[in-house]
């Protein structure tokens, strides 16, 4: 599970105005943790960036045309053509671009050969259907259980690395950002960053219109859109899943695979459907709160100053006061300001992660502004984010945040307790974001808390934040 503390943006480290990256259509990446967005090859030829749209897209197609040509002449696994295809199909993590599931000091890593070979076997099946469209590689995450969008993203990023490097160099040079070549990038000079590990690495910037969000497990809205665009595939998938009461991710991938690989025509129709429905991560709607997170991190520290003197070295109660004050600040801006707007999209609540990331930004800025010697830590894996505040070994406070429509009771009664046990602490705060559908859940968890206190057991605090849509603060009397 990747953890996130002391966030550092590219713009901050290199002294560049964030608006310059925005004008260039580039993502302002974190240098200390990956953002859970991924490069989608389906979007390359739609990019507004000419280098990506023309040269990057052509490089992608040419590279995988060579892979497919080798698979077409391969007679069996392990023959010369198969081995050559394996060599072209590197799954080593791409150079640092700030995207994916990585964490601080993101080193390049290789995924298991079994995943590479699984993709090649499926590609070979497609070739035997009669299709040789190199963009078939984009769809492997739909078919293979262990192949996620981060795998396809890294694969694509490695292939278009020269184009990303050129874009990065062209952006940095006129702004006076120090560039140099290295063993990793011997031809094009790039900006470099030295992490705490002491292993310097080159940084590449990525156009914002070729990335999409990394889907959280069991969130299949994008896949459903592609399936529904083709009646024959939709019918076949529904038939295959009809007898399964609660289809798993593996069940759905197997159904999609079987439906799309019935024929050359259906497979190519599926590619076309995916391309038609694919859209990049929109900064305006900011479904996961990444752009709002960065916006808050750039706010002047004076806005987060407190009159309180936090003496966290004195123990757990002082750390709990820090947590309480950061939550009060978050609650105030959601309930009394306009921050609630960042929690909604098209009249519907955003995913839980959006609120969690925004809270993280506030608490990090608060601690820095008040010179509090705590680095709030958030796990940044594929599921919910929980937060840990710690000073030394014994003083730890955990914060868990849930949407009112989610598993509030289970989250309070079980999930937070599991996190507390693993962190060896009795101190936790359970935050409920009420979007207007909390119902009796609050009464239930308050009862659980009261019963624990009566038994003399530790019980996590409960904080409720009214996240419902409101009139803009500027229009209120």
Residues 378 and 360 in one domain: yes
Query: If the chain, 477 residues long, is cut into consecutive pieces of 10 residues, what is the mean pLDDT of each piece?
Result: 69 95 95 86 95 97 94 94 90 72 49 84 92 86 78 89 96 96 86 85 94 64 64 80 78 83 87 84 91 92 90 86 95 95 93 90 91 70 67 80 93 89 87 95 96 94 96 62
334-336-338-342 Cα dihedral, nearest 10 degrees = 10
Q: What is the predicted pLDDT for the residue at 176?
A: 95
Residues 112 and 222 in one domain: no
- Which distant-in-sequence residues (6+ apart) come within 8 Å of 437 by Cβ? 404, 405
Q: What is the predicted pLDDT for the residue at 184?
A: 72
Tokens 């009664």 sit on residue: 413
**Beta strand segments in 324-427, E:** 344-345, 348-349, 377-379, 386-391, 395-403
Q: What is the predicted pLDDT for the residue at 98?
A: 81
Q: What is the predicted pLDDT for the residue at 104?
A: 45
Residues 151 and 208 in one domain: yes
Q: What is the predicted pLDDT for the residue at 28?
A: 95
Residues 338 and 349 in one domain: yes
Alpha-carbon distance values, 193 to 13, 62, 228, 431 (Å): 9, 32, 44, 36
Last residue of a domain, one of 281, 306, 339: 281
Last residue of a domain, one of 281, 316, 334: 281
Distance CA 423, CA 2 (A): 15
Last residue of a domain, one of 214, 235, 250: 214
Residues 139 and 92 in one domain: yes
Q: What is the SS3 assignment for 295?
A: helix
Residues 47 and 73 in one domain: yes
394 near 333, Cβ under 8 Å? Answer: no
Residues 399 and 459 in one domain: yes
Q: What is the predicted pLDDT for the residue at 106?
A: 46
Residues 411 and 458 in one domain: yes
Q: What is the predicted pLDDT for the residue at 477?
A: 54
Residues 342 and 423 in one domain: yes
Q: What is the predicted pLDDT for the residue at 420?
A: 86
Element (H, E) at 58: helix 57-73
Q: Which domain holds residue 55?
A: 3-214
Q: What is the SS3 assignment for 377?
A: strand
**How buried is residue 427: exposed, middle or buried, by Cβ count under 10 Å (0-12/13-18/19+)?**
buried
Q: What is the predicted pLDDT for the residue at 94?
A: 59
Nearest one of 206, 210, 208 to 164, comparing CA atoms? 206
* CB-CB neighbours of 176 under 10 Å: 10
Q: What is the SS3 assignment for 247?
A: coil
Domain count, the chain: 3
466 near 334, Cβ under 8 Å? Answer: yes
Distance CA 4, CA 388 (A): 10
DSSP characters over 140-170 = HHHH-TT--HHHHHHHHHHHTHHHHHHHHHH
Distance CA 254, CA 93 (A): 26
Residues 129 and 41 in one domain: yes
Residues 263 and 330 in one domain: no
Three-state SS annotation for 4-47: ECCCCEHHHHHCCCHHHHHHCCECCCECCCCECEEECHHHHHHC
Residues 339 and 469 in one domain: yes
DSSP conformational letter for 188: S
Q: What is the SS3 assignment for 464?
A: strand
């Amino acid at each position: 599970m990747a953890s996130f503390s002391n966030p550092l943006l590219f713009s901050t480290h290199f002294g560049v105005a964030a608006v310059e990256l925005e004008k260039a259509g580039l993502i302002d990446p974190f240098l200390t943790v990956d953002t859970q967005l991924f490069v989608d090859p389906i979007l390359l030829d739609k990019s507004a960036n000419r280098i990506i749209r023309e040269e990057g897209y052509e490089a992608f197609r040419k590279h995988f045309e060579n892979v497919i040509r080798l698979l077409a002449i391969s007679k069996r696994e392990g023959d010369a053509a198969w081995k050559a295809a394996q060599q072209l199909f590197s799954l080593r993590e791409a150079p640092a671009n700030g995207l994916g599931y990585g964490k601080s000091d993101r080193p390049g890593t290789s995924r298991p050969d079994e995943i590479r070979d699984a993709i090649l076997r499926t590609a070979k099946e497609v070739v035997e259907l009669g299709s040789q469209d190199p963009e078939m590689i984009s769809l492997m995450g739909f078919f293979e259980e262990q192949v996620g969008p981060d795998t396809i993203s890294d694969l694509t990023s490695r292939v278009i690395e020269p184009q990303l490097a050129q874009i990065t160099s062209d952006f940095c040079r006129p702004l006076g950002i120090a560039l140099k070549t290295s063993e990793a990038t011997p031809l094009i000079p790039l900006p470099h960053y030295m992490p705490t590990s002491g292993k310097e690495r080159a940084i590449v910037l990525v156009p914002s219109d070729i990335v999409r969000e990394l889907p959280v497990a069991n969130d299949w809205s994008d896949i459903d859109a592609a399936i529904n665009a083709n009646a024959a595939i939709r019918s076949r998938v529904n038939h295959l899943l009809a007898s399964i009461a609660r289809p798993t991710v593996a069940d759905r991938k197997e159904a999609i695979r079987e439906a799309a690989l019935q024929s050359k025509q259906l497979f190519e129709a599926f590619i076309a459907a995916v391309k038609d429905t694919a859209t990049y991560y929109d900064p305006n709607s900011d479904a996961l709160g990444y752009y709002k997170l960065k916006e808050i991190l750039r706010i002047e520290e004076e806005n987060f100053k407190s009159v309180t003197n936090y003496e966290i070295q004195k123990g757990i109660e002082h750390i709990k006061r820090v947590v309480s004050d950061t939550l009060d600040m978050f609650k105030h801006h959601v309930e009394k300001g306009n921050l609630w707007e960042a929690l909604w999209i098209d009249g519907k609540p955003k995913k839980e992660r959006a609120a969690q990331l925004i809270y993280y930004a506030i608490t990090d800025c608060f601690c820095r502004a008040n010179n509090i010697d705590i680095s709030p830590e958030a796990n940044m894996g594929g599921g919910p984010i929980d937060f840990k505040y710690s000073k030394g070994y014994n003083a730890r406070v955990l914060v868990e945040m849930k949407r009112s429509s989610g598993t509030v009771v289970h989250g309070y009664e079980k999930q937070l307790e599991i996190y507390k046990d693993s962190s060896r602490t009795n101190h936790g705060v359970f935050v409920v974001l009420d979007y207007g559908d909390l119902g009796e859940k609050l009464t239930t968890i308050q009862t659980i808390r009261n019963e624990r206190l009566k038994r003399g057991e530790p019980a996590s605090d409960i904080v409720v934040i009214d996240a419902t849509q409101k009139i803009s603060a500027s229009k209120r009397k």
